[in-house]
């Protein structure tokens, strides 16, 4: 959802509150496309502090269905994000790129709320999502979910230093 911020520039100190809903039912993350659930409205408060500077504060709350890092079952992960940004509207795109302060959620005088929330979400993603601390994962041979079933695959890891001796045993087995 785009918000046009031009009405805040009429005078210094002007404030405006926004209550918006996130667009779409999914969000693209490095783990893949995840479903949004329990989405609450995004609340934003924008203040014009003068000299074409805006102070943005707000909050967003929702949950994502993210696959478990071990067994790939979907896990509901709640997020409560706090948004605090200072927007310098006097900078050009080249100035922002030079200062390494690129703001893809700001396009001219329009604020892309979905992109702002996505950027904040990427900073708050957990390193690893697990369905349970004791998750056993999946079998690397047959793909069975070891939390729900067992498999008969050989999971022994041979010592690489013993490979020469194992080759000798294999030669005698063939005779």
What one-character-per-residue DSSP string does 2-62 give? EEE-GGGGGSTT-EEEEEE---SSEEEETTEEEEEES---EEEEEEEEETTEEEEEEEEEE
Do the domain assignments include residue 150? no
In a domain, 110, yes or no: yes
Q: Tens digits of per-residue pLDDT, 33-42? A: 889 999 999 9
Q: pTM here?
A: 0.75
156 in a structural domain:
no
Residues 55-72 have pLDDT tens digits of 999 999 999 999 999 999
Residues of the chain with pLDDT under 70: 91-103, 155, 157, 173-175
Number of domains in the chain: 1
Q: Does 55 fall in a domain? A: yes
For 18, the domain range is 2-124
- Does any domain span residue 157? no
Strand bridging mode 32-37 / 26-29: antiparallel
Helix (H, G, I), strand (E, B) or coil at 107: strand
Residue-level pLDDT at 92 = 66
Q: Which two tokens stand for residue 155?
A: 């999971």
């Amino acid at each position: 959802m785009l918000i046009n911020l031009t009405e805040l520039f009429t005078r210094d100190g002007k404030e405006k509150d926004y209550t918006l809903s996130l667009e779409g039912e999914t969000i693209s993350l490095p783990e893949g496309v995840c479903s949004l659930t329990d989405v609450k409205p995004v609340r934003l408060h924008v203040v014009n502090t003068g000299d074409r500077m805006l102070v943005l504060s707000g909050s967003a709350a929702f949950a994502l269905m993210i696959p478990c890092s071990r067994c790939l079952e979907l896990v509901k992960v709640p997020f409560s994000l706090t948004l605090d940004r200072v927007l310098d509207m006097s900078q050009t795109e080249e100035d922002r790129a030079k200062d390494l302060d690129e703001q893809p959620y700001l396009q001219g005088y329009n604020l892309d709320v979905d992109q702002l929330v996505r950027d904040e979400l990427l900073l708050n993603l957990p390193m690893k999502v697990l369905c349970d601390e004791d998750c056993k994962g999946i079998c690397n041979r047959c793909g069975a979910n070891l939390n729900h079933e067992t498999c008969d695959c050989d999971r022994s890891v041979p010592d690489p230093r013993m490979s020469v001796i194992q080759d000798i045993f294999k030669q005698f087995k063939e005779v």
